[in-house]
Structure 1
Amino acid sequence: MNPYDADLHKGVMRLLVRAGSLISHVMPSCSGTRLYFFFPSFHVGGAERVHADIVKCVSQGDTAVFFTHRSRDRKLLHEFRRSARCFTVWPLLKYLLPVSTGFIAGIINKNSRAIVFGCNSRFFYKLVPFLSDSVKTIDLMHAFGGGSEFFSLEAVPSLDQRIVITARTREDFRCLYSEAGIDPLHLGRIVLIENAVDVPEIYPRKNRTGRLKVLYVGRGSEEKRVHLAGKAAAVCARQEMPVDFVFVGNVEHAIAREDRHWCRFMGELANPSEMAALYASADVLVLTSSREGFPMAVMEAMAHGMVPVVTPVGGIPDHVRNGENGILLSHDESQLPAEIAARLSELCASPDLLDLISRNAYDYAASSFSRSRFCGAYRELFGC
């Protein structure tokens, strides 16, 4: 696009945004709504559960949640509806993006006390520059690697605060801001709030059966590298180890056909009680990701006395201490299946070691993953 066409395009976009803003002025005021959230989806996922938890912590009957992308399923929608009015707006954004931007900004700007919070949503970052200075804007970054860290850069000067869930992500921002020439003063707006999970009041003792039950919990996306867990299951089977691999999530397609025989697939489980029962019955969590923030699955597993056997990416090494409350694997993808099998063999051969790491994992979760701390931090952030 030549400079003239680019300027013309920007001019037309501004006119359409302005048109949407003018339309909002003839709409009834939403002064009763103070908190506005913009999330991509409400399907089953760790990030989506965190988003629902945040809304639950801060909502006081004055909350609206906008979903900006199509969701794969509706399994978590009820969690959001318990705390907020929910709007699925992706069809509007697909066909009427500039007008919708102006319209929604105009609605929000009617309330000078409004707080707008977004995560993983491009639309949120397009919206922020059109909000009035009196509107507080906050975003959440789960981890680097998904693209949000780059397409959010233009909005950085307009963000009042940025939330990260690991200290590592804060350091990643430090490097990115330096490379992008962003004023380092904006680093002072970054706040660390780690996620939380429900932790049983007492240590959930395991009913050891002589066979090790190993879980994988998560998506089948590329960065999860779940095929490596499938290969580890096959290695264990060939070595006739007393190990059973159970996979939770829509992951069967991501595992090699020849390895699926050694895997049990549960599909997606949205019911927290079902997941808690599964965690309570299992011994080990295996994750083979190439990048992460700090996975909810690791937190939930540790809370139920499972031993995390995981790659040292994202915020995982900040919480999982090798040989103490978990096992950290190497980065070498080619060796991971054999390495996982070797670590599981050690746990099979030493029930006392398994019990010790299990107990340490639970104790760490009980002291570190408190919901009261999590909600308290977000309530303070939102002025609740």
Structure 2
Amino acid sequence: MPEPRLRESARGDKQSTASGPVRFPIRILTVGTAPTGPNSRGGMAAVTQLLIEDNDPRFHIRSVSTYVDDSLPVWLWTGISGMLKASALLLAGVVDVLHVHFSLRGSVVRKSLPLFVARMLGIPTIIHCHSSHFFTWFDGLPAPLRRAVRAALRADYVVLLGESHMVASSARLGFEVSKARLLYNPVVMPRDAPPPRTRRPLSAVSLGRLGTNKGSYDLVRAIGLLPNDIRADLRITLAGDGEVDQVREFVRAEALDDTIDVVGWVGPADRDRLLAESAIFVLPSYSEGLPMSVLEAMANGVVPVTTPVGAIPEVVTDGVNGLLVKPGEPAQLAAALQALIVDTKLRDRLAAAAYARAGKFDVARWRDALHDVWLAAASQPRTVSPRWPFAGFRRSDAAILRRP
């Protein structure tokens, strides 16, 4: 088969892929949660932060935020202005690939306009699902709204956090499995393997949005089930936003203030300090995608005690690199914690295996896999829909939008 001819471009290097010619740098527009900051927290924010820090010269990455965790006026303004800005950039002809990140409810609505504009222009699209709650939410919608969501999220590629989401997503959104790409969340690995934790009492930590879904109350109950002498050898910190005051009050009601410290949300520096000090990480969630916090704990040599939900079992193997317990079972959780507190050899073995496993999710590997998806999308032939709704729009009219 003859090699495809490369189109001339003033934008730089040219390269052929298996699908077709690609011009560099490829201009990527990512749309989603704002990067990590005081008003942007959690896994999606961390992924956005890693995206904009990508310095591969083959890609020019521009990020538009459509969500911040702030007051209602700021939240609304960010969502509406982000939708419009992303759509304007697409219309201005400065985007080669649109990559949107979504979870559920308003997140889907905020991405619908940029996705629509991209499809009308023939710009390749990628949707990236970050929430396991999406499926439950989707199934609870009336049939007309399910059809609307399915239409809004039509894309050339679908990025999922775990194999467990493949069939579920395909059945609901109606895309071919061949369009799906598996991309586990990434983690930044420390330069050196962390040393075993030997300080007594042992430190444990739970990171994430406090509340019922994350198993925060189950964790408090589990601590209360530990024998007094075992509990005396443990100090655990619960850090995160959400139901901070309610969880703190529950700890007081259970008279566990001497063991459990509820500190609320912490920034990256304090998070890293907590992980460096802790021997055990606990996240007894009822539903998850693939929590960044689990990977961060494992990368720091902290033994994860968590639940087999979402893509977690694809990362944590019970008794090999962590311990898995059923959601909503404080007694099981207490037994797992007690085993780690009393058995130093078990704890050290699982910690070493957790660190080794986390290396498979290093951010460099993640970026390589993500770049493959971007390259595949960019190499597709662009076909403009005949239902072009912006025929009167001239790209020269939006020259101001070409600025980074």
Instruction: Name the TM-score, length of structure 1 as normaliser.
Output: 0.75
Preserved CA contact (<8 Å) 1:33 1:64: no
Matches within 5 A, 1:14-53: 34-42=27-35, 43-53=40-50
**Which of 59, 64, 67 is equivalent to 1:66?**
64
- Report the CA distance shift for 1:221/1:160 in structure 2 as closer, same or farther (over 3 A): farther
Partners of 2:33 and 2:44 within 8 A in 1 = no
Q: 2:331 aligned with 1:341, yes or no? A: no
2:236 alignment counterpart = 245
Change (3 A) 1:274 1:318: same
Say if 2:191 is the partner of 1:201.
yes
Q: How does 1:196-345 map to 2 (within 5 A)?
A: 196-236=186-226, 238=228, 240-241=230-231, 242-250=233-241, 251-255=243-247, 256=250, 257-259=252-254, 261=257, 262-271=259-268, 273-331=269-327, 333=328, 336-345=329-338
Secondary structure of the 2:54 match is helix
1:379 maps to a residue whose letter is H
Deviations 1:271-294 (Å, cap 9, x if unpaired)? 2x4322321210111111111011
Deviation at 1:200, TM superposition (A): 2.2
CA shift at 1:57, angstroms? 2.2
- Are 2:93 and 1:116 aligned? no
Q: Is the 8 A contact 2:197 2:278 kept in 1?
A: no
1:136 aligns with 2:124: yes
For structure 1, the residue ranges without an aligned partner over 5 or more in a row are 1-31, 74-87
Whole-Å separation in 1 of the counterparts to 2:281 and 2:83: 42
* Residues 103-158 of structure 1: per-residue CA shift (max 9 Å, x gap): 7534412317532221123211233123334312111112331467657411243x
Does the 8 A contact of 2:101 with 2:128 survive in 1? Answer: yes
Distance 1:106 1:249, change over 3 A: closer
Mapped contact 2:43–2:291 kept (Cα < 8 A): yes
One-letter identity of the residue aligned with 2:343: S
How large is the RMSD of aligned CA atoms in angstroms? 2.9
Q: What amino acid is the match of 1:327?
A: L
User: 2:158 is matched with which residue?
Assistant: 162
* Deviation of 1:233 (Å): 2.5
Once residues 342 and 221 of structure 1 are traced to their aligned partners in structure 2, the CA distance between those partners, rounded to angstroms, is 22
CA apart distance, 1:226? 1.3
Which secondary structure does the structure 1 equivalent of 2:133 belong to? Answer: coil
For 2:69, give the aligned amino acid: S
SS at match of 1:223: coil
Change (3 A) 1:125 1:357: same
- Partner Cα separation in structure 2 for residue 39 and residue 59 of structure 1: 21
**1:117 alignment partner AA:** H
> How far is the alpha carbon of 1:240 from its aligned partner?
4.8
The answer to which structure has the higher helix fraction is: 1
**Shift in Å at residue 221 of structure 1?**
4.4
The one-letter code of the counterpart of 2:30 is F
Question: How far did residue 238 of structure 1 move?
Answer: 4.7
Q: How many Å separate the matches in 2 of 1:233 and 1:280?
A: 22
SS of aligned partner of 2:288: coil
Quote the Cα distance in structure 1 between the aligned partners of 2:263 and 2:245.
13
Amino acid at match of 2:297: A
> Is the 1:34–1:111 Cα contact (8 Å) retained in structure 2?
no
Separation in 1 of the partners of 2:367 and 2:45?
16
Quote how far apart the aligned CAs of 1:33 are.
10
Are 1:224 and 1:287, in contact at CA under 8 Å, matched by a contact in 2?
yes
Asked if the contact 2:286/2:309 (under 8 Å) is kept, the reply is yes
Secondary structure, in 3 states, of the residue corresponding to 2:64?
strand
The structure, 1 or 2, with the larger RCO (C-alpha pairs under 8 Å, 6+ apart) is 2
Aligned to 1:91: 77
Question: Structure 1: how far apart are the matches of 2:78 and 2:362?
Answer: 38
* Inter-partner Cα distance in structure 1 for 2:240 and 2:311: 22
CA contact (8 A) 1:233 1:245 kept: no
Q: 2:152 corresponds to which letter in structure 1?
A: A
Instruction: Look up the SS of the partner of 1:50 in the other structure.
Output: helix
Residue 62 of structure 1 deviates from its aligned partner by 4.3
Structure 1 residue 307: Cα displacement: 0.9
Percent of pairs identical after alignment?
21
| Partner amino acid, structure 1, of 2:42 | G
SS at match of 2:159: strand
Q: Given residue 342 of structure 1, which amino acid in structure 2 is its aligned partner?
A: A
